[in-house]
Structure 1
Amino acid sequence: MATCRGIDVSNNQGAQDWMAWKKQGLTFAFAKASEGEHTHDSRFATHIKGIKGAGLVPGAYHFAWPNQSATVEAANYISAVKPYAGRGFIHWLDLERYNDGRNYQGRTAAQIKAYAAAWVAAVQKAFPSQRVGIYTSASDIAAGHVPSGVPLWFPSYPGSSADTYAEAEKHTRPAPSGRSVTLWQFTSDPAGPARIDQSLAYMSASAFRAWAGVEAPAYEPFPGTSWFTTGRRSPIVAAMHDRLVEVGCGRYQSSKDKDVIGPGDKASYEAWQRECGYTGSAATWPPGKTTWDRLQVPKS
């Protein structure tokens, strides 16, 4: 199974040589941005600038307090990352219980799940073309704290049998409570001097970059008008959707399954046709070659 490698950092780690990490084969790196309703991580700006400067896929995470307001916490996170969250930025809710339970105190499983769903929705609304997922444990998943339909970054530590990337890559992909995980954090205390959380993503480096949106997928040549009338499933549809959002036509938002043509995609494309100067029947679905070619992602 194809994988790629990454790490995550917080104010517990000092300055990093991010180019050195990249040369060691890393594809992505995430930094803690915020916690609760008001706290920002003191090293976030330094970390994220270095991550982006090295050309790694960047991301950030927010440590959750489900017994506080999801709306306020999402706003706290958004304010921390907004200056840095360009194309391909990945957002994570760190949903884990403190050892003494203070951040879960007084909340039922249903309330924690509702908090997580609300936080994800608020951050997705703020960054509609970017990935938003949840970092969480097997116990949280088993307890029903985690909404469905979100990418999962899963921590689980086999110990010395998976102390390096090479060892972790030989392990079976985790499936806590039958859930599929996108990333596996396989150690928080690796052998050697690094002492930095290490993770695998279950896709190749190029696929991960495309998934994150760092490099928007290239379209195929215009497939003909009839191709768009079948509601078909295709990565081309997801690329079209992402590009429509990028050019400002994403206010309609199609279904969560972006690989399938839905009403939102049709409405968004018609908005794009109008922006290209078409009116009346010329601005209705399906796409034509002229507007399709104008929507192409610039190759640089």
Structure 2
Amino acid sequence: MSTCRGVDVSAYQSPQNWREHRTNGLVFAFAKASEGEHSRDARFSTHIRGIQGAGLVAGAYHFGWPNQDPRAEAENYIAAARPYAGAGFCHWLDLERYSDGRNYRGKSAAQIKVWVNTWLTLVRTAFPHQRVGVYTSADDLKAGHVPAGTPIWYPAYPWGPAAFTKAEAAARPKPSGWAPLIWQFTSQPMDRSIAYMSGAELRAWAAGETAQPARPKVSLAAVVYAATHKAADEKKHPSGADDVAHVQDALVANGRLKRGAFVRGIFDEPTKAAYSKEQLAQGFKGTKPGGAADGTPGKKSLTTLGKRRGFTVVA
């Protein structure tokens, strides 16, 4: 899967050499604009002007207090972002609970979701044709605080300090079934993220030219290897786990595989039996080993499944 690199900053970071960041491979950068009903980030103007001046995909975020007035908070953010929010600008609600819970205190999950939806609606109305998403945790997603279909920027730090290459080699996080558009994988030495699009795709998405991220690519070779080797052997090829997971999701969507009855990312026996059902449904025959419907994917059956369920088959 294609990815590109980015960072985010606030008043805690000194002014950056954004042109050097871009030369070193950075594609996007977001800066904190505001918090709560009245607070503004002291370095927002400095950061965002530098980001835009370097030609990066630019965006801003607002740290939310769901126990305050969502309209006042949206107005605070809109006023801060408006001077910079041209075509291709991204807007993010930073929805995260303070460690002492002070910004969530007194609100139920349902009330927080209503608050989030109100903030998002107001910002979308203020900036039509610009992208508006939510930066939020696994706990918030699990609690149902975010409306379905919202672009997600997801923070999870499995390693502490980490290079971009480490995140790019890892499996895409899937918190509570969500597929984040962006993964913030470390805060050291600064907040680093990868987006699950190429740089060109992210620019097109930010400009409103594509409604969804690019279709995921599934390697036929990786899936066939997974289907014909034991799980212990598959660990030698961990990059195939995402490919298998896409196939499993497609089989679930087609009613061939029961959710919870298989090991995600492993082409196990339930997955193989489900794939055989898919092959039979496509008109292939012969379920014995070596038959056209034996549960081992072929290029034709996998391509057909991908076309119906949103992935592209590659060699």
TM-score computed with the length of structure 1 as normaliser: 0.69
AA matched with 1:172: A
Partner SS state of residue 169, structure 1: helix
Tell me the equivalent position of 2:24: 24
The alpha-carbon distance between structure 1 residues 234 and 148, as it changes in their structure 2 partners (threshold 3 A), is closer
1:200 corresponds to 2:194: yes
1:132 corresponds to 2:126: no
AA matched with 1:157: Y
1:186 corresponds to 2:194: no
* Residue correspondence of structure 1 range 1-300 to structure 2 within 5 A: 1-159=1-159, 163-189=162-188, 195-213=189-207
AA matched with 2:37: E
- How many Å separate the matches in 1 of 2:129 and 2:212? 18
AA matched with 2:120: V
The alpha-carbon distance between structure 1 residues 50 and 138, as it changes in their structure 2 partners (threshold 3 A), is same
Structure index of larger Rg: 2
Percent identical among aligned pairs is 59
Deviation at 1:234, TM superposition (A): 11
The alpha-carbon distance between structure 1 residues 121 and 170, as it changes in their structure 2 partners (threshold 3 A), is same
- How many Å separate the matches in 2 of 1:82 and 1:146? 24
C-alpha distance after superposition, 1:150-182 (max 9, x if no partner): 10000001115x711101001100110001110
- How many Å separate the matches in 2 of 1:124 and 1:143? 23
- How many Å separate the matches in 2 of 1:149 and 1:205? 22
- How many Å separate the matches in 2 of 1:75 and 1:133? 17
AA matched with 1:177: S
Contact 2:205 2:212 in 1 (8 A): no
- How many Å separate the matches in 1 of 2:66 and 2:147? 14
AA matched with 1:213: A
C-alpha distance after superposition, 1:182-233 (max 9, x if no partner): 00000011xxxxx21000000000000000008x58xxxxxxxxxxxxxxx9
The alpha-carbon distance between structure 1 residues 65 and 22, as it changes in their structure 2 partners (threshold 3 A), is same
- How many Å separate the matches in 2 of 1:152 and 1:234? 12
AA matched with 1:122: L
Deviation at 1:138, TM superposition (A): 0.2
Partner SS state of residue 157, structure 1: coil
Partner SS state of residue 159, structure 1: coil
TM-score computed with the length of structure 2 as normaliser: 0.66
- How many Å separate the matches in 1 of 2:48 and 2:195? 19
The runs of at least 4 consecutive aligned structure 1 residues that moved more than 2 Å come to none
- How many Å separate the matches in 1 of 2:186 and 2:50? 23
The alpha-carbon distance between structure 1 residues 234 and 29, as it changes in their structure 2 partners (threshold 3 A), is closer
- How many Å separate the matches in 2 of 1:166 and 1:35? 32
Partner SS state of residue 60, structure 1: strand
Number of aligned residues: 213
Contact 2:95 2:135 in 1 (8 A): yes
Partner SS state of residue 93, structure 1: strand
AA matched with 2:186: T
